[in-house]
Amino acid sequence: MGMFWKFTGLFIVSIAIYIAYISRDTFDPESIRGKRVVVTGASTGIGEKVAYQYAKLGANILITARRENLLKQVVKKCLDLGAQSAHYISLDMQVINETGKLITEAEKTLGGLDYLVLNHALYSLELWDGDIEGLQALMNINFVSYVNLATKALPMLSESNGSIAVVSAGTSLFSLPGVIAHSASKQALNGFFEGFRLELNYKELNVSVTLLFLGGVATDHAIDLVQDRDMLAQFGDPDEAAAFIMKATSSKQTWAYYPWAAVRIPEIIHTISRDLCDIMMTNSFFPMLRMLKI
Q: Residue numbers of the site for ligand NAG (CB under 6 A)?
A: 97-98, 160-161, 206
Contact in structure between 117 and 165 (CB atoms under 8 Å): yes
Output the smallest distance, CB 97 to ligand NAG, in A.
4
Q: How far is CA 219 from the centre of its chain?
A: 14
Residue from 183, 209, 217, 283 nearest 50 by CA: 217
Output the smallest distance, CB 204 to ligand NAG, in A.
8
> Which residue number, 155 or 177, has a Cβ lying nearer to ligand NAG?
155
Q: What DSSP line would sit under the chain, residue for residue?
A: --HHHHHHHHHHHHHHHHHHHHT-----GGGGTT-EEEEES-SSHHHHHHHHHHHHTT-EEEEEES-HHHHHHHHHHHHHHT-SEEEEEE--TTSHHHHTHHHHHHHHHHSS-SEEEE-------------HHHHHHHHIIIIIHHHHHHHHHHHHHHHHT-EEEEEEEGGGTS--TT-HHHHHHHHHHHHHHHHHHHHHHHTT---EEEEEEE--B--HHHHHHH--HHHHTTSBPHHHHHHHHHHHHHTT-SEEEESHHHHHHHHHHHHH-HHHHHHHIIIIIHHHHHHTT-
Output the smallest distance, CB 96 to ligand NAG, in A.
8
> Which residue number, 35 or 186, has a Cβ lying nearer to ligand NAG?
35
> Which residue number, 93 or 241, has a Cβ lying nearer to ligand NAG?
93
> Which residue number, 107 or 239, has a Cβ lying nearer to ligand NAG?
107
Output the smallest distance, CB 161 to ligand NAG, in A.
3
β-strand pairing of 208-214 with 115-118: unpaired
Output the smallest distance, CB 160 to ligand NAG, in A.
5
Residue whose CB is nearest to ligand NAG in the complex, by number: 161
> Which residue number, 187 or 206, has a Cβ lying nearer to ligand NAG?
206
> Which residue number, 157 or 169, has a Cβ lying nearer to ligand NAG?
157
> Which residue number, 36 or 182, has a Cβ lying nearer to ligand NAG?
36
Output the smallest distance, CB 118 to ligand NAG, in A.
19
> Which residue number, 85 or 206, has a Cβ lying nearer to ligand NAG?
206
Angle between helices 45-56 and 68-81 (to 10 degrees): 30
Q: What is the CA radius of gyration of the chain?
A: 20
Output the smallest distance, CB 149 to ligand NAG, in A.
15
Output the smallest distance, CB 279 to ligand NAG, in A.
45
